[in-house]
Amino acid sequence: MAMTLRLPEVDDRMLTERAAKEKRSKQEIAIEAIHRYLTAHNELVDASVEEIMREDAELLDRLAR
């Protein structure tokens, strides 16, 4: 799916420089960064839910009845 990403000038300049250093496209780097963020965020949310389920198992069981 197509998407236009508008970056502040300073971020675009930093991304352009990083892409040149790594000999990669700005798109590749942006996709990787988004993927890393989403993966880390999903793992954090999953871990938080598991912790709540474990710590409040008794309460959740009572509420489910």
Q: DSSP assignment of 28-65, as one string?
A: HHHHHHHHHHHHHHHHHHHHHHHHHHHHTHHHHHHHH-
Amino acid sitting at position 53: M
Q: What is the pLDDT of residues 3-58, one digit of tens each?
A: 899 999 999 999 999 999 999 999 999 999 999 999 998 888 888 999 998 899 89
Burial of residue 26 (CB within 10 Å: 0-12, 13-18, 19+) is middle
Instruction: Note the pTM of the prediction, 2 decimals.
Output: 0.66
Cα 27 from Cα 24, distance rounded (Å) = 8
